[in-house]
A and B are shown apart, each in its own frame.
Chain A
Amino acid sequence: MLSKNLRKQIPFYLMVLPAMILVFIYSYIPMIGIKIAFQRFIPAKGLFGPQEWIGLGNFTYILSLPDTFKVLRNTVFIAGMKIVGGLIVPLIFALLLNEIRREWFKRSAQTIIYLPYFLSWVIFAGILIDVLSPSEGIVNGFLRLIGAKSVYFLGDPKWFPYTMVLTDLWKNFGFSTIIYLAALTNISPTLYEAAAIDGANRWQQTWYVTLPGIRPIIVLLATLSLGNVLNAGFEQIFNLYSPQVYETGDIIDTLVYRIGLIQAQYGLATAIGLFKSIVSFIFISLSYYLAYRFADYRIF
């Protein structure tokens, strides 16, 4: 006979049960599936079929490839620039927008800069491929108009990583801008009044009232973005890269895709993926810990 207390909890267990089962199948079984990384995996034999174990064979093979370090470097370089840009650019725009007193202007500007965030990368890549085309694109048309040379933004390995960072910023900076703005509107107006009475001009008010006022949210976004050190943006790069820019544009996720799903070398691809999962896990955990320490953030 169940105790009364336990019986009262039965509805709760029943409610979480469906989600538990689904998460077990589609999140935890794949985690067990990581074992593929240590096998010479033959897909036809099935995920849990009798496969040949090869220890760290896949890993030593990966380390022997010259491309591995190039891809790792590309990933960290692109992701790192995106993290830094994604913190600073929205902050600047939030501060600029915050100085605007005309509500309609502020609102329209916010609405417009936030819009690209909601378009899929397929759509956004389609737009970029058109406007950045070296021969027909409007951007290069403009460059030629002012006497500059055409730039092959998506096909020149020198330009490709920067194109990725800039276009990603352009698509996503509205998101953090609005987070900052929401924090800015929470700063008490009396603080500004007090500062004005003390003779502070607008610059000083920004420096001594506004920035300290949103410091917690800056710290929070900065710490949480740490978890993205290996996320260079698969959806973006997959839709915009080509073999001629692999040199600087190939990242871990695209490499895993090609090795795994195109070349069907499942064991190798899983091994690379496992490396990324472990490093990301460390960084995400660290970022949550730091956010908890310094910004009082709790996941739940």
Chain B
Amino acid sequence: MQKMTRGEKIFLVFNYVILSLVALLCLFPLIHVLAISFSAKSAVAAGVVRLWPVDFTLASYKYVSNRPEFSRSLLISIKRVFLGLLVNMFLTIITAYPLSKEDKQFHSRTIIVWVFVFTMLFGGGLIPWYMTIRATGLLDTIWALIIPGAVPVYNVVLLLNFFRSLPKELEEAALIDGASQWDILWKIYVPLSLPALATLTLFTAVGHWNSWFDGLILMNRPENYPLQSYLQTIIVQQTNVAGSFLQSEDWRILAVISDRTIKAAQIFLGALPILVIYPFLQRYFMKGIVLGSLKE
């Protein structure tokens, strides 16, 4: 270890301070909103809630969990994540595999890859896209959220590149043993690609959980909204929160909650699954980036 000069020591201290501040600044707003969601409305209105709940209460959460719209849209979101994962991952795998072959093995390979890649470069735009989905009769069904995006082209390209990095001898040996391409894919390539597949699965799941715009425009009836679309109407468009206050039967809850605490609770609940899995699957979250950018 080389000796540090005075300037370097000062820099190091400065560095720790700056980085700590930035990291805390990233977290503070989240914690602040979380604190609001657990606080009573009087304390929130008085502006005394900072990073810790004041007059702790679960009333906002009780109120939210009693709303049928919330649980209904939550269920739709869960269904969407699982269906979406199944469809996306299956298609990604069976599409990436043949496209990872050399041209001499699969003649149309390069042309077909370009057919897919072209969709990343150019698109029809919002209206033709919407009209197509409407014409195929998917509006107001859960399939509208799954089928139009069933082929995640970017993931196909990532996995295709990953497959290409695996040794060719594996396939040759299996072919000599009489294995079919289908077997080679599922019994050799997939087991060898589990870390990459885990990362893609994670990003796909997060993507489905977080999508809100497609739900908003492809569902005409609000009862078909997934959670994030529902939250968008509540938190951003600010509809139907105040009105439903009056219908609520429990006056004790109404005494301690406000629009703001309810919104805070819903923001937190909408982010909860991500916040829960994030620390545990951090490794895969990190890898997702590197998988895409540092390929050889």
Contacts and interface: CB of A to CB of B under 8 A. Distances in A.
Among B105, B124, B136, B232: residue with most chain A CB under 10 A: B124
Contact of B125 (A23, A25, A30, A182): A30
Size bracket, chain A contacts = 35 or more
B98 A15 contact: yes
A99 B180 CA distance: 51
Interface in B239-283: 260, 263-264, 266-267, 270-271, 274-275, 278-279, 282
B289 A127 contact: no
A296 to B, nearest CB: 10
A279 to B, nearest CB: 11
B280 to A, nearest CB: 11
B278 A26 contact: no
Contacts of B133: 26
B196 interface: no
B112 to A, nearest CB: 6
Contacts of A99: 11-12, 15
Interface string A275-295: 011001100110010000000
Contacts of B182: 11, 15
A118 B278 contact: yes
Interface in B94-144: 94-95, 97-99, 101, 105-109, 112-113, 115-117, 119-136
A261 B119 CA distance: 23
Nearest to B149: A26
Interface of B is mostly: helix
B126 A120 contact: no
Given A9-B107, A19-B95, A105-B16, A179 B289 contact: yes
B65 interface: no
Nearest to B270: A123
Contacts of A138: 29, 32, 50
Contacts, number: 275
Contacts of B94: 15-16, 18-19
A281 B209 CA distance: 29
Nearest to B213: A235
B47 interface: yes
B198 interface: no
A113 interface: yes
A129 B236 CA distance: 8
Given A125-B236, A126-B263, A281-B121, A16 B95 contact: yes
A300 B160 contact: yes
B126 A269 contact: yes
Interface string A38-53: 0000010011000000
B106 A9 contact: yes
Nearest to B153: A23
B49 to A, nearest CB: 9
Interface string A151-166: 0000000000000000
A251 to B, nearest CB: 13
A220 B147 CA distance: 33
B19 A109 contact: yes
Interface of A: 8-9, 11-13, 15-16, 18-20, 22-23, 25-34, 36, 43, 46-47, 93, 96-97, 99-100, 105, 108-116, 118-123, 125-131, 136, 138, 141, 170, 174-175, 178-179, 182-183, 196, 201-202, 217, 220-221, 234-235, 238-240, 253, 256-257, 260-261, 266, 269-270, 273-274, 276-277, 280-281, 284-285, 288, 299-300
Given A16-B95, A29-B128, A131-B32, 15 more contacts: A12-B181, A15-B185, A18-B94, A18-B95, A20-B112, A25-B136, A29-B124, A30-B123, A33-B132, A115-B26, A118-B206, A118-B285, A126-B33, A178-B290, A202-B8
12 contacts: A9-B107, A15-B185, A19-B116, A23-B153, A26-B147, A32-B128, A115-B26, A118-B210, A119-B274, A170-B26, A260-B126, A260-B130
Interface of B: 2, 5, 8, 11-12, 15-16, 18-20, 22-23, 26-27, 29-30, 32-33, 36, 44-45, 47, 50, 91, 94-95, 97-99, 101, 105-109, 112-113, 115-117, 119-136, 147-151, 153, 156-157, 160-161, 180-182, 185, 206, 209-213, 217, 228, 231-232, 235-236, 260, 263-264, 266-267, 270-271, 274-275, 278-279, 282, 285-286, 289-290, 293-294
